[in-house]
């Protein structure tokens, strides 16, 4: 935990993600990444030089028209002394039942982020922290290249002028395998995804592609991240 929290702190300092007085909402999906991010930021509130507060927020997609069970996430937030807000949505039925989207992931992600953005505005948070990590960044680079024919990635820090909030990604120096191990050791209450498309996405295919390329180029992921930083690609 200490090692990974140190990497979170390194990302925060390198990209100036947190300032004095920030009210940060952590987007919690129930997955290991967002839960670990919540724990790391909650720990940092106790000793980080700039004082900030953390609140967990969840946009429940209600897949199949059924509310998600986030009771164990609530218990974790209680242990961390972190407030928790759950916003019920109609995303699941809208995307899978009404629109019957063939490629639902991008639309679902955009709509869920929009809900989180609006919730931040309503509740007075000036920053939204998302759980994208090192491997997500590398995979997004390849997805943009292979599927979109462009060089690009999400940014470590993005200011949304229309909402007047800043989206930050403090896990970008943390590898997924390390987060998985930390989640297991901390016994984080991971909520199993009820999404019908879970495990059959373009991101899963891209992750498989990166793993296959790493057999020939063992340090491929580090080189991709380094290239994005040297090129200043999308704020890296």
CA distance 82 to 75: 10
User: In the Cβ-directed half-sphere of 176, how many Cα atoms lie within 13 Å?
Assistant: 10
Q: What's residue 180's pLDDT?
A: 96
CA 48 to mean position of chain CA atoms: 21
pTM of the predicted model over 0.85: yes
Tokens encoding 35: 């839960």
Q: What's residue 200's pLDDT?
A: 60
Q: Residue 5: which residues within 8 A CB-CB, separation 6 or more?
A: 40, 43, 44
Q: Provide the CATH number for the domain around residue 121.
A: 3.40.50.620
Number of structural domains in the chain: 1
CA distance 29 to 51: 25
Q: Residue 201: which residues within 8 A CB-CB, separation 6 or more?
A: 105
Domain carrying residue 83 = 2-235
Below-50 pLDDT ranges, the chain? none
């Amino acid at each position: 935990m200490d090692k990974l929290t140190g990497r979170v702190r390194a990302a925060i300092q390198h990209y100036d993600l947190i300032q004095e007085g920030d009210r940060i909402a952590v987007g919690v999906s129930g997955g290991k990444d967002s839960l670990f991010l919540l724990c790391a930021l909650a720990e940092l509130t106790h000793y980080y030089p700039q004082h900030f507060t953390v609140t967990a927020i969840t946009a429940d997609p209600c897949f199949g028209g059924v509310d998600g069970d986030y009771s164990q996430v609530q218990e974790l937030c209680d242990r961390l002394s972190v407030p928790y807000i759950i916003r019920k949505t109609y995303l699941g039925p809208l995307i899978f039942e009404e629109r019957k989207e063939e490629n639902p992931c991008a639309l679902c992600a955009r709509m869920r982020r929009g809900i989180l953005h609006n919730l931040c505005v309503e509740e007075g948070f000036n920053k939204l922290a998302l759980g994208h990590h090192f491997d997500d960044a590398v995979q997004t680079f390849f997805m943009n290249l292979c599927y979109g024919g462009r060089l690009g990635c999400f940014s470590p820090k993005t200011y949304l002028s229309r909402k007047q909030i800043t989206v930050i990604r403090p896990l970008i120096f943390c590898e997924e395998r390390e987060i998985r191990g930390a989640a297991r050791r901390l016994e984080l209450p991971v909520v199993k995804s009820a999404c019908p498309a879970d495990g059959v996405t373009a991101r899963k295919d891209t992750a498989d592609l990166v793993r296959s390329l790493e057999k020939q180029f063992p340090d491929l992921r580090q080189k991709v991240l380094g290239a994005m930083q040297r090129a200043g690609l999308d704020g890296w």
